Homo-oligomer: A and B are copies of this chain.
Amino acid sequence: MPNENKTSLENSRAQMRKGLLEYCILLVISRKKVYASDIIASLRTADLLVVEGTMYPLLSRLKNDGLLDYHWQESKSGPPRKYYELTSHGKAMLKQLDGTWEMLQSSINALRLARA
């Protein structure tokens, strides 16, 4: 008796996205200064769903790890925003993760090719 297969699929998909989230956020921030909603919008464009409740704690964590820094900037319409950018540690980390991503890609694509 299969246990809700659709859920299982969505679950797996979510997991795949989750694992890559941190890397993607660093990628987005590396392009230009952005604030939380910018990041969410960019990732949504790339089919990577994220919600606020995920983004804010994650940004805080990355900040505490010394990978990000931010400064307040007023908005023409609404409350002020926190604009994030990479620190030098963040840039170094991103470079490392680029390597990890490339390895992962080739490992998995090798597994895929090895199929009957």
Chain A residues engaging chain B, CB cutoff 8 angstroms: 1-5, 8-9, 12-13, 15-24, 27-28, 30-32, 42, 46-48, 64-67, 89, 92-93, 96-98, 100-101, 103-105, 107-108, 110-112, 114-116
Pairwise interchain contact A67-B8, C-beta atoms closer than 8 A: yes
Closest residue on chain B to residue A12 by CB atoms: B22
Number of copies: 2
Closest residue on chain B to residue A28 by CB atoms: B111
Our pick among B104, B105, B112 for the contact of A27 (Cβ within 8 Å) is: B112
Interface of A is mostly: helix
How long is the Cα–Cα vector from A15 to B18 in the complex, in angstroms?
8
Pairwise interchain contact A16-B9, C-beta atoms closer than 8 A: no
